[in-house]
């Protein structure tokens, strides 16, 4: 007997499997009459053995503003929702360009959960996304216990005292600088910070090794997923924190295990811009 991991109904749910620098997604086109996936369905689809397997589910939906071509929402593998997904924004853009509803050249708008993003497909096939202005005010990260931004925040984490950077890209990010990314203890400090009372909505945790003023290595232990091969908002968060510390310049190549992203942040009050690839892997149908 075949087990159906979905809702038990018989309707098939078409999806596209995609990734951005190895951060992988199941993309669902919900324009029209399909309902948003419930947490149980997200967990079933994301399951690496019983499902399709992905870090996040992305849903393409009707635009929420007149200027946008479409809107999208983001669900982590554990079924929790997120407000920001940089790699996912590039994949949604590529999906709409392939469909023909977004231009293959020139800028267009997409509505994310935190507002509009301007996106552009470049001549080399990569996508450039306006990721917004980083927010360092603790209450807006959110981060509790600190009444003003005082980077680094010295936090007790699982028996160690750690200097932590913190910023919101629309979703919460913490950052720990390390000397060697390959020996960073993600499985200790990642969950330790995600469960920390300073982060009431948990947090995505980046581990950065500075290679030069225009190059860093980064690994990210994501909220609702665990370690991913890449995190676009995490790459922005790392550059924002390190640039503000004066440790890197304003145009940085971020090398993640799954690939490279180029992050620029011209000045503190301007949006960050992320540039990277988006790839189609296969098309399928989920027997919901």
Ligand X SMILES: N[C@H](CCC[C@H](N)C(=O)O)C(=O)O
194 binds ligand X (CB under 6 A): no
CA distances from 73 to 30, 56, 120, 216, 235 (A): 10, 10, 19, 29, 20
Q: Which is nearer to ligand X, 171 or 209 (CB)?
A: 171
Residue tagged active-site, from 54, 91, 231, 236? 231
Output the smallest distance, CB 22 to ligand X, in A.
10
Q: Is 14 left (phi over 0), alpha (psi -120 to 50) or beta?
A: beta
| Site stretch for ligand X (CB under 6 A), options 79-87, 93-101, 142-150, 240-248 | 79-87
What are the percentages of helix, strand and coil residues in the chain, rounded to 5?
15, 40, 40
User: Binding mask 102-141 vs ligand X (x if CB under 6 A, - otherwise)?
Assistant: ----------------------------------------
Q: Which of 85, 166, 205, 248 binds ligand X (CB under 6 A)?
A: 85
Select from 248, 231, 27 the least CA-distant residue to 131. Answer: 231
Enumerate the β-bridge partners of residue 207.
176, 219
- Kindly report the backbone phi and psi dihedral angles of residue 30, in degrees, each rounded to the nearest multiple of 5, phi listed first: -100, 10
224 binds ligand X (CB under 6 A): yes
Q: Which of residues 199-218 bind ligand X (CB under 6 A)?
A: 204
Residue tagged active-site, from 42, 54, 85, 91? 85
Q: Give the 3-state secondary structure of residue 193.
A: helix
| 85 catalytically annotated | yes
- Is 87 annotated to bind a ligand? Reply is yes
Contact residues: ligand X, CB under 6 A: 23, 76, 82, 84-88, 171, 204, 222-225, 228, 231-233
């Amino acid at each position: 007997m075949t087990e159906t991991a979905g809702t038990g109904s018989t309707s098939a749910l078409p999806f596209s499997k995609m990734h951005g620098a190895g951060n992988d997604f199941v993309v669902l086109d919900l324009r029209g009459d399909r309902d948003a996936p419930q947490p149980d369905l997200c967990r079933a689809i994301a399951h690496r053995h019983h499902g399709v397997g992905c870090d996040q589910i992305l849903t393409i939906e009707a635009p929420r503003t007149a200027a946008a071509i479409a809107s999208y929402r983001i669900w982590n593998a554990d079924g929790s929702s997120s407000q920001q997904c940089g790699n996912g924004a590039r994949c949604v853009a590529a999906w709409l360009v392939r469909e023909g509803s977004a231009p293959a050249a020139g800028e267009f708008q997409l509505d994310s959960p935190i507002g509009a993003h301007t996106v552009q497909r470049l001549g080399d096939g990569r996508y450039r996304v306006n990721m917004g202005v980083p927010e360092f005010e603790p209450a807006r990260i959110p981060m509790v216990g600190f009444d003003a931004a005082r980077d680094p925040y010295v936090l007790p984490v699982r028996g160690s005292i750690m200097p932590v950077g913190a910023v919101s890209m629309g979703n919460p990010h913490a950052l720990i600088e390390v000397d060697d990314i390959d020996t960073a203890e993600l499985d200790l400090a990642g969950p330790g910070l995600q469960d920390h009372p300073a982060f009431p909505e948990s947090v995505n945790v980046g581990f950065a090794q500075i290679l030069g003023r225009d190059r860093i290595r980064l690994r990210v232990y994501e909220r609702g997923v665990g370690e991913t091969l890449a995190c676009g908002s995490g790459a922005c968060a790392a550059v924002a924190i390190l640039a503000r510390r004066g440790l890197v310049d304003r145009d940085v190549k971020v090398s993640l295990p799954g690939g490279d992203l180029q992050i620029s942040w011209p000045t503190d009050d301007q949006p960050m811009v992320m540039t990277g690839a988006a790839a189609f892997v296969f098309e399928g149908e989920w027997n919901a």
